[in-house]
Structures are given as structure tokens and as C-alpha cells.
Structure 1
Amino acid sequence: MFDRLTAYLDSIQARDPAPRSRWEVLLYPGVLALGLHRVAHWLFEAKLFFLARLVNHISRWLTAIDIHPGARIGKNFFIDHGFTVIGETAEIGDNVTIYQCVTLGGTNPTNGKGGKRHPTLEDNVIIGSGAQVIGPITVSKRARVGANAVVTEDVPEGATMVGVKARSTLMPAEEWMRDFIPYGTPCDEPCEEAREVGRDCIEKLEGEIAELRQQLEALQKGLPATGSVPARKAGTRR
């Protein structure tokens, strides 16, 4: 058991440069939340639902992380910071990393039955901060979800999802081959297309501003400007 705990703490240090020792990692809210979830899930599986909910409630109060006792979680799961919600039928594989303010949410079943309502995250998935992964979808192995993305459809293996609604974006091979990328996406490449669209909009706005300035200068000089209303001559009647 001690060896398993040591391996878990080492896996977190490999993904987070902030802690200086394993003892520091033990104070992480995500580590405490996962430990209490293991207890709550054992009680849930034993059909001791009230006690499972009680442990869940204490964990949420202590850590600001809400993991339903029914959620199934694999090895080396790391929640960096907190304010995360994980639903009852969520399934999480091994070596998954989730950043702050993420929701693994469910959809309202149309047939009136609970069933599978929450996402499945396979091994080595990374979910960026603020992302919303909604419904009984599958985020396949080594997939990455960028910050604030909203994912409502299955994610292929190794894909990187960005935007609202999230879309897949191409990644350089050297980035895709890396075992771990902090925050789910690198800082430059995935959003290049979006930046190009933004540049076009900015250039268009700058052109319109320049044209308006020219018209304003013409009005100030007493010259007729394009689209201006001609002044009415003195003495004329309406």
C-alpha cells in the first residue's frame, strides 16, 4: 500500500512542477478528494448510500471538489487545484489529469431512467481548466481538451479539442508524441486558425476607424464628407 501511495505521489510530481516534496503533494485538495472518494465509492458499492453521501459531502466541504460516490476512477488520477464536479456515471481511466473548474456533467435522460449519463475518459486524457465535458460520450486515449472548451461528442484518440462548441485541431507530431502537456494544449499552435480569424477582424475594424477619422477631419474643415447631409440655404422655406 505504501508503494502504491508513493507511486501515486510521484506521478503527480511528474505532472506538476510546483511541489518540492511528496509531503507537499499530500496537502493537495485533489489528493484528499480522491482518497475520500475511494472510501465513498466502497460504501456506495456496498449499497450504504447514506454513508457514501456523507463522506462525499465532507470531501466537498473540505476540498471544493464534488465527486459522486458512484463515479469509477482508475490509477494516478490528478485534479490540479479544485472546483471540479464529476457525475455519478462518469468513468475515468489511468493517468488522467483534470485542471480547475472542470465539469464532467450529465444529460437529462429522455426515457426517464438514469442509465449512463456522464462521460468516459480513457487513459492519459488531459482536461484543461474550465472545460465542460457533457453527456455519455467517450474521450479516447491521449486526447486533450483545451481550457473552456465544451465537448458534447466523442473525441478520437490523440485529438486536441478547442473552442465552443469544441472542434478538433491539428497538432505537430512532436507535441502529439509527448506523454504529458500541461493544461491540455500548448500555448501557441492549436489556436492558430482562430488567431488568423481574429487578425482579419482587427484589420477590418482598423480600416473602418481610419475611414471614419477621415470623414471627421473633413467635417471639421468645413468640407463636404461622404454621406453628409447638405446644409439648408438661409431664407428657404420647408
Structure 2
Amino acid sequence: MAADQPTIVATSGGFRTGRRTNLEFHKLVHHAVDLSGVHGRRPRLCHVGTASGDQRSWHADLDEAGRLAGWDVSHLNLFPMPPTDDLAGFVREHDVVWVGGGSVANLLAVWAVHDLGGALRAAWRAGVVLGGVSAGSICWFAGGTTDSFGPELRVVTNGLGFLPYGNGVHYDSEALRRPTVHRAVADGVLPETHCTDDGAGLVYRGTELVEAVSERAGGGAYVVRRDPSGCSQEESLDIRRL
């Protein structure tokens, strides 16, 4: 099975501390799996950990989380080398690709070396649900705000561009995120920008934003646009609690 339309779930969440394990998949990742339409077998999730350097200890926690969820979890490691010469085929074998957080600048640079963007675009068009958290959210957009270069936030504008917007993550938990987004939109550095508080996610069908969701009781989602006077304007989105 595959999603009936190209689908992206861009989030500031997806994981939680487990009751008996280090980690569990939270509701946003479960929602991405539901959107893939898989039934009658174990879902297949591909985790991409480039943004944090493909840390094997983190992968072990995700494998355990996958067993708890009843999913088959694999990892697309690019360090020290890709797992196959056929990255497009590898990605297409899965129902969901979930990209972890870390440095979006490093992620985009490494992906460009291996042309992973082309493989991911083909999978997206074929109905593999793409998703991720933080850097794994920003990567699908034209760009966004990041601490990839240091504590002072900067803006990247070389995202994959599957979604023709900017992206802001951790909007409620890091004080500089909101003003940095507003400044980038007002200055025309970022286009219309879609933002999530921690625990929130945005669901896209094709390039259309169709729903904002949250795995928390709180947490919101927002659109920031540049008005004709050159100022930024923020709109809160209706959000559904998962």
C-alpha cells in the first residue's frame, strides 16, 4: 500500500521517553504510519539519522521503539557509506521515511553528495510518506531557521523545496525562533513560513497544507506571511489533538 497522494508530515515532535525503554514513537509518527495506508502486515519505517551523524546508539533505541510499536524499522546510514548503490529502491521499500533532528545544514550537504533528494522525491511521488522532526522537518521546505552554525540562529534557504514555504520549528520552546522567522519573512529571505510548537505537526497532501495536529494537550501551529507593507503577520492555525 501507499498513501493516496504525496504526503509529508513536518513536525517538532514524534518521540517520547518510554515506560520501560529509553524511547517510544509518539503520536505524530503513528499518524504518519496511519497516513501511509498500510494494513495486513507490519509497517516498514525507514529512519534517516544524517542530521545527528548516524549515531548507532540512537538507532538501537529506535529499533526497540519499533518492536514496541509492531513496526519494522531500518536505517538509511550515510556514514561511513550508503547501504546500497540503489538508494531510490531502498527508500521505496518503506511505507514511511522519518528524518531525525540535528544539523539541517550538514544534512543537506551530505544528502547533496549522494543525491538522496532525488530518491526521496521519487518515493514521495510514489506514495511513501515523508516526515521528520526539527531538521527532519525543515529539510522538506525551501528553508528555515536553524542553530546548525552556532547558538545564534541563522536561516538556510537550500532545502529540498518539495514544499514551497519556509519552516519554523520549536516555536514555543526556544525564545529566538519566533523573532528570527518574522525577520526572515519580513526581509523576504523566507517565503510564507509554516511553524510548529513542540509536539505539533503539519500534514501536507501534495504541496497543500491540509491539517495541523498535536501529540500534546498544548502546542500550536502558525503561518507567517509578509504583508504589502513589508511587515510579517502571524496567523494561528486550528489544530487537532491526536
TM-score by length of 2: 0.30
- More strand per residue: 1 or 2? 2
Q: Which structure: larger Rg?
A: 1
TM-score by length of 1: 0.30
Higher relative contact order (CA 8 A, sep 6+): 2
